[in-house]
Amino acid sequence: MRYAVVIEKSENRFCAYVPDLPGFMKTGASIDEIEANIHDAIVHHLDGLCEDGRQIPAPTAIVEYCELAA
């Protein structure tokens, strides 16, 4: 499965969330850290869903960039 991950920068940290998996967000001090944190969070979240006998949501979010002349 391939889930879209949104990474946003705040003043001094990064925040990431997964639109198809609502309910959690992870932070990190760098892009590398936040990518590792959100990957681990997704794995643990999906493992928890399986352990609880719940269905894993299929990825449906589409990520696209819109290029504009500035």
What is this structure's pTM? Answer: 0.83
- pLDDT tens-digit series, residues 5-24: 999 998 899 999 999 998 87
Whole-number Å distance between alpha carbons of 29 and 57: 29
Class of domain 1-70: alpha beta
Residue among 9, 50, 59 at smallest CA distance from 31: 9
Instruction: Locate the domains of the chain by residue range.
Output: 1-70
3-state secondary structure of 16: strand
- pLDDT tens-digit series, residues 49-65: 999 999 999 999 999 99
pLDDT-derived band at 70 (thresholds 50, 70, 90) equals confident
